[in-house]
Amino acid sequence: MNELNWIIFGSVVLLALFLDLFVFHRHPHKISVKESLILSAFWIGVGLAFSGYVYYTKGTQAFLEYITGYSLEKALSLDNIFVFILIFSYFKVPEKFRHKVLFWGVFGAIVFRAIFIFAGVELIKLFHWVIYIFGVILIVSAVKLLITEEKEFHPEETLVYKIAKRLIPLKPNYKDGKFFVREGKKLYATPLFLSLLFVESSDIMFAIDSVPAILAISRDPFIVYTSNIFAILGLRSLYFAADAILPLFHFLHYGLSFILAFIGVKMLISEFYKIPVFVSLLLIFSAIFISVVASLLVKKKPSQP
């Protein structure tokens, strides 16, 4: 039955990726907020529908773990979207090509998350004390998120940019939405490829937080990986609505910081007391709800010149 679960999951993901690339976005175009919200609702529906399959095959506890893991990853991915906005803004990526970058970014995330998740599960099995390291990482990340002010984005100062520039000659223009262009016998990368590199590297950095967090919810690789991937699948569509909506939620980082800190504490005390999954789910929803409502009620103060 375990093998069948993975086959069904893989089939659903492949079908979803096929629909996304060859049906919904067969032709590059600017995605409106309305289209983004409709597609986001569709992907959330797919993720929740799979939770029904989890309930049917694995029972109530696995279902609760899946829903909690899915909600956790969905919440944490909101912070990732802020970074996507900065990346696309810096590289001046045309709006009609942004979905292509996000599609291949998510495709890479599917691979990297598998490596991180299965490595994390095995590490905890072999060395139980690793869970305390994960807990500390989450608490440190929570503090950083809480105290870090908005900063300007300077990719040219990063190691990723310097290595890419050294290894691959770059062309400073977009060519029909291509990642690479050939001129004569020489191959050049376009800014679209650079933006993809930063989308991938940002996801790897966020995985350092989100993978330990979701391992605090469940140690079942199937639950952890499927909930993680279904949350990520809808990330692309959510971006196009979030680009317009997220700036309104200026207190959201407080809610995300609380979630990371709570999960970190949960991991640190897991040997002495196991916090029920439904409590984790309730606190995740409450943190996001309160931070969103507070953002709507309290207007953001204009920044000082």
Decide: residue 11, CB within 10 A, 0-12 exposed, 13-18 middle, 19+ buried.
exposed
Question: Between 80 and 65, whose confidence is greater?
Answer: 65
d(CA 75, CA 68): 10
Residue 150 has pLDDT above 80, yes or no: no
* Among 236, 231, 285, 260, CA closest to 98: 236
Q: Note the pLDDT tens digit of each residue in 1-15.
A: 578 889 899 898 888
Q: What is the pLDDT of residues 43-52, one digit of tens each?
A: 888 889 999 9
In sequence order, which residues have a C-beta less than 8 Å from that of residue 134 and are 6 or more positions away?
120, 212, 215, 216, 264, 267
Q: How confident is the model at residue 285 (pLDDT cuts 50, 70, 90)?
A: confident
Nearest residue to 246 (alpha-carbon basis) of 75, 104, 29, 97: 75
Q: Are the C-beta atoms of 222 and 3 separated by less than 8 Å?
A: no
Residue 55 has pLDDT above 90, yes or no: yes
pLDDT class of 63 with cuts at 50, 70, 90: very high
Task: Centre a 10 Å sphere on the Cβ of residue 138 and count the other Cβ atoms it contains.
Answer: 26
Q: Is 92:191 a contact under the CB 8 Å cutoff?
A: yes
Sole residue written with tokens 């990719």: 155
| Contact present, 55 and 62 (Cβ < 8 Å) | yes
* CB-CB neighbours of 297 under 10 Å: 8
**Predicted pLDDT of residue 152:** 59
pLDDT at 175: 65
Q: Percent of the chain beyond pLDDT 70?
A: 88
Do 83 and 160 contact (CB within 8 A), yes or no? no
Average pLDDT, the chain: 81
Q: Angle at Cα 178 formed by Cα 177 and Cα 179, nearest 5°? A: 125
Q: What is the mean pLDDT of residues 104-133?
A: 85
Rounded distance between C-alpha atoms, residue 101 and residue 239, angstroms: 12
Query: Over the stretch 204-235, which tens digit does the pLDDT of each residue have?
Result: 877 877 888 888 888 899 999 999 889 888 77
Angstrom distance (rounded) from CA 230 to CA 237: 13
Average pLDDT over residues 110-126: 86
Max Cα distance, the chain (Å): 66
Q: Which residues are registered as beta bridge partners of 189?
A: 170, 180
Instruction: Give the least confident one: 128-132, 164-168, 239-243, 292-296.
Output: 239-243
For 162-208, the pLDDT digits (tens) are 777 777 777 777 667 788 888 777 888 888 888 888 888 888 877 87
- Parse the chain into domains and list their residue ranges: 2-297
Cut 0.95: pTM above it = no
Amino acid letter, residue 9:
F
- Bridge partners of 181, per DSSP, are 188
- Candidates 289, 118, 94, 122; CA nearest to 207 is 118
Percentage of residues of the chain with pLDDT beyond 90: 10
pLDDT at 260 over 80: yes
Q: Which residue has the higher pLDDT, 153 or 110?
A: 110
Task: Tell me how far CA of residue 168 lies from CA of 101, 105, 188, in angstroms.
Answer: 18, 19, 7
pLDDT at site 113: 86
pLDDT at 244: 66
Q: Which of 79, 67, 84 is nearest to 252 (CA)?
A: 79
Q: Give the confidence band of 305 by pLDDT, cuts at 50, 70, 90.
A: very low
Where are the strands (E) in the chain, listed by range? 180-183, 186-189
Indicate the length of the chain as a whole number.
305
Among 66-70, 97-101, 119-123, the least confident range:
97-101
By C-alpha distance, which of 251, 244, 242 is closest to 295?
A: 251
DSSP state of 250: T
